[in-house]
Structure 1
């Protein structure tokens, strides 16, 4: 297992109410991610079952063969997927209502505004406000490729409803967390 992540260092309550967790990611053709490995990206890791929502890339544990899919899972079940294209920015906002115990997905490419991809569905939403991982946890699935992988991140922020769909970011009054 290999990890590289950004984790919040805050005393803010990031686990109640209706929040949107924003982030963008990009890969390039130089040092691309290995599609034979499982990559767990942008997830919560507070209790079992952890990862109530996450982006994944590559071959999922138990599967075989290269898989170039970038997918969004809720409780380990894929709800949305697309093929990863090097050089393309993928923008996401997790739509999490901690009180209603639901999570949805907003996404876009490049500079396009976010659009709803999956309406909120039931999930065991939970966070201690410090377990939000932005980055990737790489599981080699029995492989031994030690080649470097480059992942690029941008636009990492959290806001209360209403959702800012512009990938340029929020107006100052909305970014309260």
Structure 2
């Protein structure tokens, strides 16, 4: 009788661990290649929509030493967007969030397992933009990146851990002469 009493908790623990492993790995199904990411993002962006869009991956970056990657993508309607992918225990990814719109330059903050990162992404029409600054509205901190040679860009930097309000930010674009570019 004593053997059955000891066996039952171990059986329950084994089944629980097996269920959790299957449940977690079932969410993380995206391979770390452009084709798998494009296919998954196309399905993600079209969920619940009648009009279908196609996603083209432009760039994928891993944020520092975190388990988070950011994807820069373009839709077939020419909007540029981003997606946050989180890496699971099985080495595959799942989509956590995405966004796109009509703005040529956008800022987002992404929380990872190694801190918060400020992300600036978008388009550089005719390579007019030389530099972009994103100034946090509720903190005394800004990010500045050079994008003069890039038609599309995805830039990031880790935000200091002592900052608590890492969104929103005001983005300002500068030309090669450091004049502010309006209307982008």
TM range (shorter): 0.3 to 0.5
Q: TM-score, normalised by structure 1?
A: 0.32
Tell which structure's C-alpha radius of gyration is larger.
2
TM-score, normalization by structure 2: 0.31
Higher helix share: 2
Which fold has the larger relative contact order, with Cα–Cα distance below 8 Å and residues 6 or more apart in sequence?
1
